[in-house]
Amino acid sequence: MKYSILSKMKLNLKALSAFALITLSSTIALAQDPNALPTEPKPLSIDFWFYTLLLVAAVLVFAVINKTVKALELTHTLNGKEVGNKWNKINGVIFLIFGLGFFSAIFWEFNTHGRQLLPEAASIHGAQTDYLFNITLIFTGAVFVLTHILLFFFAFKYKGSGKRKAFFYSHNDKLEVYWTLIPAIVLAVLVFSGWKTWTNITTPAPQEALQLDVTGKQFAWIVRYPGTDKVLGTKAFKLVNDVNETGVNYNDINAKDDFFTREIYLPVNRPVKFNFGARDVLHSAYLPHFRAQMNCVPGMPTTFWFTPTITTDEMRVKTNDPKFDYLLLCAKICGTAHYNMQVKIVVVDEAAYATWLATQKPYYTEETAKQITEAEVARMKAEEERKLALN
C-alpha cells in the first residue's frame, strides 16, 4: 500500500513542479560513478555547467518578467493613474488566489501524506495520546482555517483604493474579553486532558512489569534481559570494558543469569518497563510505533513503561506490509552516526515469547567470566601505570 502511494505521489509531484524534476532527473543522468572518480580535484563536470546555465536562464527569465511589469507600470502612470492602487488591486487578488491554492495544497497534503503516517498506536497509552492528538487537531485546525480565511479574504476585500477611508475602530473591550476567554477555556480543556494522560503515562510501572535494560552508546543500543529471576543485576560504569559493555556487576547474584539480545522481544499485552542508561553521551530511545520516548542520560537512570497491544504479525496485516517491524531508534543528537542507531522490536504472543525466552543463554559463563576478569585486571594495571606515570 505504501509503495503505491509513493508512486502516486511521485506523479503528483511531477505535475506540481515539472521544472524542479527536470533538475532532479538531469542530476541522476549526468552524475558520474563515484568509484571511477580520481582523487585529484576533478575538472569541472558537466553538471556544474548545467546548474550554472539553469541559474543564468532563471535570472534571465526573471529579468524579462520584471522589465515587462515595469513597462506596464509605466504605461499605467502615463495614463495618469496612481500605480500604488493598481498594485493594491493586483496583490489583493493574488492573496485571494494564494489562499485558495493554500487550502487546496493543504487538503492534498493531508490526503496524500496523511496516509503515510505512523500506523495506529501499538500501546495502551499510545491510543490515548493519539486520541488527544486528534482532539487538538480539530480545535487547532478550526482556528487555522478560520483565521486564514479571514486573513486572505480581508486582504482581498479591503485592498486599498483612493476612493475610500478606513473605518476608525480602535478597540472593543468586550471583543477582547471574548477572544481571551474562549481560547483560555479551550486550552484549559486541552491542558486538563493532557495532564490526565500525562500522569497516567508517568505513573510508576506495575510490579509485574517485564524489566529491560537498554543502554545507548555511540552508535548502538545494548539490550539486557533479567533472566529467570526477573531481576536485573546492578551495573557501574567503572566496570565497562570490551567484554562487559555496559559494566554489569557480576558479583551481584541477580546479574548472573542476565542475557543480552540483538532484538527486543516483547510479549503482547504485558507491561514492560525499559530502564534506560547511556554510556558516553546523551541518547534518546524513541519507539515511534508505541508513542514512547525517553532520553538516556549518562549518570542518571531513566525509565519508561508501556503495554504493547498489537503483535508484529498483526501489525504486518494491518499495514499490509509484510516487512513491517517495530523499531527503537535514537532521537537525540549523539555524534556522527546518530542517523543509524536502531534495534528491531518483535512483539509476540505469550507462547512465542516463552519459546524465545527458553532459547536465551545467560551471558555470564565460565568462559566470559574469565575474559571479564582478565579485562578487569588489565584495566587496573593500566590505571596503576597511568598513576605511576603521573607521579
Using CB under 8 A as the binding rule, the residues of this chain from 268 to 307 that contact other proteins are: 279-282, 284, 286, 288-289, 291-295, 297-300, 302
The least distance separating other proteins from the CB of residue 351, rounded to whole angstroms, comes to 28
- Which CB sits closer to other proteins, 12 or 228? 12
C-alpha distances (whole Å) from 351 to each of 165, 257, 262 are 79, 21, 20
The least distance separating other proteins from the CB of residue 277, rounded to whole angstroms, comes to 9
The least distance separating other proteins from the CB of residue 212, rounded to whole angstroms, comes to 16
- Residues 327-362: b if buried by 16+ CB within 10 A, e if exposed: ebbbbbebeeebeebebebbbbeeebbeeeeeebee
- Which CB sits closer to other proteins, 10 or 381? 10
Strand order in the sheet with 326-330: 264-267, 342-348, 326-330, 283-287, 292-296
Total number of residues that touch other proteins (CB under 8 A) = 136
CB under 8 A: which stretch of 68-76, 224-232, 347-355, 360-368 binds other proteins?
A: 68-76
The least distance separating other proteins from the CB of residue 344, rounded to whole angstroms, comes to 11
Using CB under 8 A as the binding rule, the residues of this chain from 303 to 342 that contact other proteins are: 323, 325, 327, 329-340, 342
Strand 272-278 vs strand 302-306: parallel, antiparallel, or unpaired?
antiparallel
- Which CB sits closer to other proteins, 60 or 150? 150
- Which CB sits closer to other proteins, 306 or 353? 306
Question: How many angstroms separate the CA atoms of 141 and 273, rounded?
Answer: 35
Task: With beta carbons less than 8 A apart as the criterion, state whether 273 and 210 touch.
Answer: yes
CB under 8 A: which stretch of 85-93, 309-317, 346-354, 363-371 binds other proteins?
A: 85-93
- Which CB sits closer to other proteins, 130 or 360? 130
Q: Of 78, 79, 165, 322, which lies in the binding site for other proteins, with binding defined by CB under 8 A?
A: 165
C-alpha R_g of the chain: 31
CB under 8 A: which stretch of 2-10, 205-213, 264-272, 369-377 binds other proteins?
A: 2-10
Strand 220-225 vs strand 210-217: parallel, antiparallel, or unpaired?
antiparallel
Q: Is 230 helix (H, G, I), strand (E, B) or coil?
A: coil
Task: With beta carbons less than 8 A apart as the criterion, state whether 283 and 300 touch.
Answer: no
Using CB under 8 A as the binding rule, the residues of this chain from 94 to 153 that contact other proteins are: 94-95, 98, 102, 105-106, 109, 113-114, 116-118, 126, 128-129, 132-133, 136-137, 139-140, 143-144, 147-148, 150-151
The least distance separating other proteins from the CB of residue 302, rounded to whole angstroms, comes to 4
- Which one, of 325, 281, 286, lies nearest residue 304 by Cα? 286
Question: By rule CB under 8 A, what string of x and - marks binding of each residue 5-34 to other proteins?
Answer: xx--xx--x--xx--x--xx--xx--xx-x
- The DSSP-derived string for 285-323 is EEEGGGTEEEEEBTTB-EEEEE-B-S-HHHHHHHHT-TT
Using CB under 8 A as the binding rule, the residues of this chain from 194 to 233 that contact other proteins are: 194-195, 197-199, 201-202, 218
Using CB under 8 A as the binding rule, the residues of this chain from 360 to 389 that contact other proteins are: none
Cell of residue 387, nine digits: 598513576
Residues 6+ apart with CB under 8 A from 26: 47, 50
Residue 252's CB is within 10 A of a number of other CB atoms, namely 15
Q: Of 29, 37, 56, 253, which lies in the binding site for other proteins, with binding defined by CB under 8 A?
A: 37
φ and ψ at residue 160, rounded to 5 degrees = -65, 145
- Which CB sits closer to other proteins, 338 or 357? 338
